[in-house]
Structure 1
Amino acid sequence: MIQKKLIAGIGAAAILAFGGNAFAATSSASATATIQSQMAVTKVTGKDLRFGGFIAGTSGDTVVRIDPNQADAASRTIVSGDATPLGEAVYAFGPAEFTVSGTVGSGFTFSVDESSINITSSANTMTVSDFTVSSSSGTIADGGSSVKVGGNLTISSGQADGSYSGIFNVTANYN
């Protein structure tokens, strides 16, 4: 009788110990990660935002626009005012151009960080505003993707002579 109770007790213990697995379920999941190349934005040598040369007007401000979607020679428009443009052969004009590089085939966004900047010559200033880009988004091509930047320059009547310059910043991000 003691032997029957001992066997019954061992059997019950075995059911309790292993019986819980009868209701268990298992699964698995993958762990993943994607590594992309460091993104870079590089200004193309000699392709700054260039408005060209002018003789200041005498009756109010002159607004000059550089269109980033046009070839250099067709990119400049005098929107208003009476400043006189000087020859392109000496005073080149055209949009700034940047190359966006990183993981080929990845999407990116592109923007100008400032809404306007002052360009200076000694103590004199002019304003560049209304920046526009040839494309605010795209896909990185083999060898990089080109994005051009234009904007508007305001030349005051009687603007002081000088070579004016200033810096604007751009940002590209993966999307």
Structure 2
Amino acid sequence: MDNQKRAGKLGISRAALLLSAFPCLAMPAPALADTINSSLSAEVRQPLTVIKNSDLIFGNFVAGAANSDFRIDAVTGIMTQLNGDAVVIGGTTSRASFTATGTPFAQANIRRSQNSINIVRVGGTETMRVNDFWLGNRAGLRDQILDASGQATYFVGGRLRIGANQAPGNYRGSFDVTIEYF
């Protein structure tokens, strides 16, 4: 029994020694702290509004025996014949134009929702395709910073594809543009 008592006392002594060592290890060292101030900010911008100044109009043609393509340049507004034998016989031509108004010096970028649409003959089912929409401003830039008055003007051109022996008539359609505000 003496051996058991001695072993028990040794076990208690060791446990007491270990327990007395743990509080020193578990006590946190004093922390160094520093405080810094940070600013907060938010900007509420004027809502972006967009108005249409003019439509994309290709003018009047007489269809030829071959497919013909015409392009209105978004930057210059000039229409050129790319190929084919259709003949331009006058009428108004214009690039589409839109003006965005918002917070001065904010960025506003124009995007198209589709790159190809069919315009349909009024009173019929015949179509012509308009595609390759070209978006930009006078410098050809799609992404713009609104000026000091909070405005920017965007232009849209495109390519009209007239089919060989295209049915005569007035062809109409529409396209969408989006101006994203940053």
Same fold, judged at TM 0.5 (above): yes
Secondary structure at the counterpart of residue 100 of structure 1: strand
Displacement after TM superposition at 1:153 (Å): 0.4
Alignment of 1:85 with 2:88, yes or no, is yes
Matched, 1:103 2:108: no
Q: 1:52 aligns with which of 49, 53, 59?
A: 59
1:26: how far off?
A: 2.7
Q: How many angstroms apart in 2 are the aligned matches of 1:70 and 1:78?
A: 15
In the alignment, what sits opposite 1:157?
Answer: 164
Cα distance in 2 for partners of 1:77, 1:22 equals 76
Alpha-carbon deviation of 1:28?
Answer: 2.6
* Structure 1, gaps ≥5 residues long: 1-19
For residue 142 of structure 2, what is the aligned residue in structure 1? 136
2:35 aligned partner, one-letter code:
T
Larger Rg: 2
The aligned counterpart of 2:125 is 123
What runs of 5+ residues in structure 2 fail to find an aligned partner? 1-28
Are the equivalent residues in 1 in contact too, given 2:132–2:158 (CA < 8 A)?
yes
Query: Cα offset for 1:23?
Result: 4.7
> How far, CA to CA, are the matches of 1:31 and 1:69 in structure 2?
42
Match of 1:68 in 2: 74
Query: Does the CA contact (< 8 Å) of 2:63 and 2:87 recur in 1?
Result: yes
Where does residue 8 of structure 2 map in the other structure?
Answer: none
User: Equivalents in 2 of 1:79, 1:22: separation in Å?
Assistant: 77
User: C-alpha distance in 1, partners of 2:155/2:33?
Assistant: 61
Q: C-alpha distance in 2, partners of 1:22/1:76?
A: 75
Structure 1 ranges of 4+ moved more than 6 A: none
- After superposition, the CA RMSD in angstroms is 1.8
CA distance in 1, matches of 2:163, 2:31: 86
Length-normalised TM-score, structure 1: 0.78
Output the CA distance in 2 between the equivalents of 1:28 and 1:157: 72
TM-score (norm 2): 0.75
| Residues 85, 26 of structure 1: alpha-carbon distance in 2 compared, 3 angstrom cutoff | same
What is the aligned length? 147
Contact 2:117 2:129 in 1 (8 A): yes
Distance 1:22 1:148 in 2: 63
Tell me the residue number matched to 2:7.
none
Q: What does 1:35-50 align with in structure 2 at a 5 Å threshold?
A: 35-44=44-53, 47-50=54-57
Distance in 1 (CA, whole Å) between partners of 2:161 and 2:104 is 39
C-alpha separation between the residues in 2 aligned to 1:55 and 1:94? 19
Percent identical across equivalent pairs?
35
1:162-173 to structure 2, matched below 5 A, reads 162-173=169-180
User: How many Å separate the matches in 1 of 2:76 and 2:31?
Assistant: 73
